[in-house]
Amino acid sequence: MAMTKRLTIPRPDDWHLHLRDGAMMEGVLPWSARHFARAIVMPNLVPPVVTADQAAAYRDRILAALPEGVVFEPLMTLYLTETTDPEDVSAAHTSGLVKSVKLYPAGATTNSASGVANFDTVRPILERMAEIGLPLCVHGEVTRTEIDIFDREAVFIDEVLDPIRRATPGLRVVMEHITTAEAAAYASNGGDDLGATITVQHLMLDRNDMLVGGIRPHYYCLPILKRKSHREALVRAATSGDQRFFLGTDSAPHATDTKENACGCAGCFTAPVALSCLAEVFEGADALDRLAAFTSVNGPKFYGLPVNQDTITLEKGAAISRPAEIETGAGPVTVFDPGRPLYWRVTA
């Protein structure tokens, strides 16, 4: 297609977002709210958001922290544990408060210690979710120590995800932050009950970017960056227009000093530059005409929500200037830098 300098799309949504809580949330929330209309907000706080009452209280704290005049809708999730009450989950869904339930395998990522170790214990909850149409969002990695970290996603699909879906017909599942060609292929053939989110960093970077020439802690995330061939498969999936794939930034803020140390935290804070990065990826794939599907259409369709009526406009020009860090009451947070100039900016 011919070079596009200006592109208007429906206002995007973020289908996987970490806002944290307290001073950190107050600092990072405006960066998502300025571009995204809605976001699936992750429940892995300390303690986690496991009940409807806790989700309602967290939603109220988010709304209270929004800058005046900013319109942003947090879509709440419940953290699945082996003692989660199916009746509470059902009531939270019926009320409209909760849009999904999040499955963390115990120990898989940040604040996942309360996650699921024995998947058989949660089958009654999954069956109830299938009955009422409430989606299950999964962090798709096994956590057994003998499984190499680069293989954990593929093993999860075979050992956990596929058996869960076969045992629970009709369960709507989102494979969050997929990172491999195997995951992209599984999602492509998964039917209408399966969706998959893809992050900014997994579309722009591979493990060489993180490790060659020195360790770059701000590229460390979970699931970890994979080979170039996997990144290329993710780009093909994201830019295909296939309705199963949609944006979940997994923007995950940590104070800079907790990333830059001997045992750094996992997560990339991409919210300030997410749309600029995505426009670069889609332009590079000659697929700017499919950016709206990935950022603004496919996600609402999967979750049964309307596409946003308001729009944003991106324009291409001189390289944008972006902050290296943002200040929060919980300390400075380093902004994701893909290691190359970005030329697309949100102008309206």
Indicate which residues carry an active-site annotation: 250
How far apart are the C-alpha atoms of 114 and 47, rounded to whole Å? 9
- Name which of 211, 219, 200 is nearest 280 in CA terms: 200
How far apart are the C-alpha atoms of 169 and 130, rounded to whole Å? 7
How far apart are the C-alpha atoms of 103 and 99, rounded to whole Å? 14
How far apart are the C-alpha atoms of 18 and 117, rounded to whole Å? 23
- Name which of 301, 179, 184, 325 is nearest 250 in CA terms: 179
Helix, strand, coil shares, percent, the chain, to 5: 40, 15, 45
How far apart are the C-alpha atoms of 115 and 113, rounded to whole Å? 5
Q: Which amino acid is at 348?
A: A
How far apart are the C-alpha atoms of 100 and 40, rounded to whole Å? 8
Query: What phi and psi, each to the nearest 5 degrees, are found at residue 182?
Result: -65, -40
Please report which helix (H) or strand (E) contains residue 39, including its range: strand 38-41
User: In this structure, what token pair is assigned to residue 80?
Assistant: 């699945």
